[in-house]
Amino acid sequence: MNFQLTDEQTMLLDSLRAFLDDEIYPFEAEVDHTGEVTIERANQIKEKAIEVGFYAANMPESVGGGGLDYTTMGLFERELGKTSYALSANVARPTELLLASEGDQIDKYLAPCISGEKHESFALSEPGAGSDIMAMTTKAVADGDDYVINGSKHFISTPCLPDFAIVFAITGVDETPRGPRKRITAFLVDRGQPGFDMALGPRCVSQRAYRTYQLSFDNCRVNKEQILGEEGNGLELANKWLFMGRVWVGAQSCGKMERLLGLATEWAATRKQFGKAIGKFQGTSFKLADMATELQASDLLVMHACQKADQGIMTADDAGMAKLFASEALGRAADNTVQIYGGMGLMEELPVERLWRDARIERIWDGTSEIQRHIISRGLLRRFES
């Protein structure tokens, strides 16, 4: 692996840091307190991001995106991960699922998401189907040239009210050697489509101003032209996105860990008790050493996955290990930082308690730590299956 940054990557990170200093860091505490990112603030971030070329940085240049490779995207996500996701998500990285758009879908969904005119949401989770996606009950039944969708989704998150949702629904059942298996299809469903309702979901204490929506479908009729990809290949599409999304969670966790380590080290070096800096006590200094070591290990796993993705050989295990290790290490780092700060670590005046709360989601979304362990161990054990 090569960890020497290219001149282009160094320049990109320098200008990204300057952008975050102006557009994101000053507003983090405010949006956390209000639990809301105003439309004006979101638009300002979006417009500036478009102006400096950070918007849709992940999408290929051929469709109007920034064309960053996965390794550079890993560095980009790592830097964004230091900040409030509710704000930094407005520097949109549209889901690569949209690259499966065909015909009219390109002008109606893909292109406007890249130019910032539209925002998508990714609607997979349901109240009864979180980790166990195959427990999904949302159905789309074929009726002539249409499909009629019934069911509900929850925890569907976006930085602002989405214009459409990529909705995963059951369109049939296949017989497989392991028994019947639901056939899942992805549909592009516009906000305002009759029978499609979108309501704000409950508040989350992690990334507080990043809101989730509950979607419900009551005989919502969509034309078969609204299928994204092929009928029945929704899960393959979803996995494609989820795997890379896990690496981005790992990269964001590294960014947040670096920020926490900086805060913890400064406090340990300057806060005095018993006549000396608390960093002079091993109980504190060893925590810093563990955080620094785990940060480096996390960075290695994330960059390893990114470089393999650039070579087209990244596996589900690579992505799962990067997410699992980095998000778990971040959890320990956040907890240790609160401990090093003592009571001040829990006070709203400082960013520590917010970073501790914000860190918590990383072990849950895009597949929990247990699900990553399940994926990794399944691969190990499969070799011995008869």
Q: Which is nearer to ligand FAD, 291 or 371 (CB)?
A: 371
Q: Which of 155, 187, 217, 341 binds ligand FAD (CB under 6 A)?
A: 155
Rounded CA gap, 51 and 22, in Å?
14
Residue in 108, 106, 109, 133 with CA at minimum distance from that of residue 121: 109
Q: Which of 83, 84, 125, 327 binds ligand FAD (CB under 6 A)?
A: 125
- Please report whether residue 364 would count as binding ligand FAD according to CB under 6 A: yes
- Please report whether residue 9 would count as binding ligand FAD according to CB under 6 A: no
- Please report whether residue 137 would count as binding ligand FAD according to CB under 6 A: no
Strands (DSSP E) found in 177-274: 179-190, 196-200, 211-223, 227-228, 272-273
Distance of closest approach, residue 273 Cβ to ligand FAD, in angstroms: 37
Q: Which is nearer to ligand FAD, 99 or 242 (CB)?
A: 242
Rounded CA gap, 231 and 75, in Å?
35
Q: Which tokens go with 100?
A: 């499966």
- Please report whether residue 157 would count as binding ligand FAD according to CB under 6 A: yes
User: What number of helices (H) and strands (E) belong to the chain?
Assistant: 12, 10
- In sequence order, what are the beta bridge partners of 29? none
Rounded CA gap, 248 and 262, in Å?
21
Q: Which of 204, 222, 244, 333 binds ligand FAD (CB under 6 A)?
A: 204
Given the rule CB under 6 A, which of 79-87, 121-129, 222-230, 319-327 is the region that contacts ligand FAD?
A: 121-129
Given the rule CB under 6 A, which of 27-35, 125-133, 301-309, 343-351 is the region that contacts ligand FAD?
A: 125-133
Residue in 94, 98, 97, 99 with CA at minimum distance from that of residue 114: 94
- Please report whether residue 374 would count as binding ligand FAD according to CB under 6 A: yes
Distance of closest approach, residue 156 Cβ to ligand FAD, in angstroms: 5
- Please report whether residue 361 would count as binding ligand FAD according to CB under 6 A: yes
Q: Which tokens go with 296?
A: 């480096």
Where do we find the tokens 């829990």? 346
- Interface residues with ligand FAD (CB under 6 A) are 122-125, 130-131, 155-157, 204, 212, 361, 364-368, 370-371, 374
